[in-house]
Amino acid sequence: MELQSWPLALQRFQQSMVDLLFGYLPNLLGALLTLLVGWLIAAAVSRLVQVLLRRLNVQKFIGENIGLRLFEDTNLKLDVVQVSGQLTYWFLLITALLLASEVAGVPQVAQFLGGLFTYIPQVFSAVAILFLAVLIGSLLRRLIVGSLAPEYGYIGTATQAFIYGLALLAALAELGISRVLIYILFGGIVGLVMISGGIAFGLGGRDAARDLIEQWRKPGADDR
């Protein structure tokens, strides 16, 4: 009797799987269609943004007025047009993924992407902090190096490194990194700056210190 029920149970299982597949198939096709349309829109809008920004000469305007030339000190090449296009593309694509997950009936993916969306502003804030730090640090380094004698150029480099360190700590705090880790990094950065400054002063100010000592010793020698 049990042997005769096995084919019937297998048939029912197959029928339930087919019903489940055909019942979920419209949602799956709708999600894939939503994702495809979203991808096409993201690619088209990203391309349109890049074309418009290039025709408006945004890269040249920012380089001449805001100071992207300061990035020459750090050997960084920043294409504002391409970055803007990529940001637009990924924003629209993630939006399409969020909509597709809703259509597919997968709330876990929607919740994950929703949490990602809430975290994106913090990432932008951290990137903006680092961007401003590069601009300000490079500008101050140029000003200090240009206003002091060549042997004191290390002061400009130390100032730039200190600003980079503070910006890194601020960016980590913005991203919600543990405060303990931030304190450790801060102590390491301060120690590194002090050691670097001491070494640079020792190497650069060695001759000046020797001349100063000789000047102090000469009056004593004359009195003898």
Q: Percent of the chain having pLDDT more than 70?
A: 59
Decide if pLDDT at 12 tops 70: no
Domain chopping of the chain, boundaries:
121-224
- Alpha-carbon distance 122 to 168, whole Å? 14
User: By C-alpha distance, which of 50, 49, 43 is closest to 96?
Assistant: 43
Between the two ends of the chain, the Cα-to-Cα distance in Å is 126
Residue 202: predicted pLDDT: 60
Decide if pLDDT at 56 tops 70: yes
- Alpha-carbon distance 141 to 144, whole Å? 5
Residue predicted with more confidence, 142 or 78: 142
Torsion-angle region of residue 178: left (phi > 0), alpha (psi -120 to 50) or beta? beta
Q: What is the pLDDT of residues 59-91, one digit of tens each?
A: 666 655 454 454 555 555 667 788 888 888 988
Q: What is the pLDDT of residues 29-41, one digit of tens each?
A: 888 898 999 999 9
| Average pLDDT of the residues of the chain | 73
Residue predicted with more confidence, 134 or 66: 134
**Has domain 121-224 been given CATH number 1.10.287?**
yes
Sequence-distant contacts of 72-77: CB under 8 A, at least 24 apart: 73/138, 73/141, 73/142, 73/160, 74/134, 74/138, 76/134
Q: Under a CB-based contact definition with an 8 Å cutoff, are residues 114 and 147 in contact?
A: no
Residue 30: predicted pLDDT: 85
Position 15 confidence tier, pLDDT thresholds 50, 70, 90: low
- Alpha-carbon distance 107 to 101, whole Å? 7
Residue 221: predicted pLDDT: 47
Residue predicted with more confidence, 190 or 26: 26
pTM above 0.85, yes or no: no
Decide if pLDDT at 95 tops 70: yes
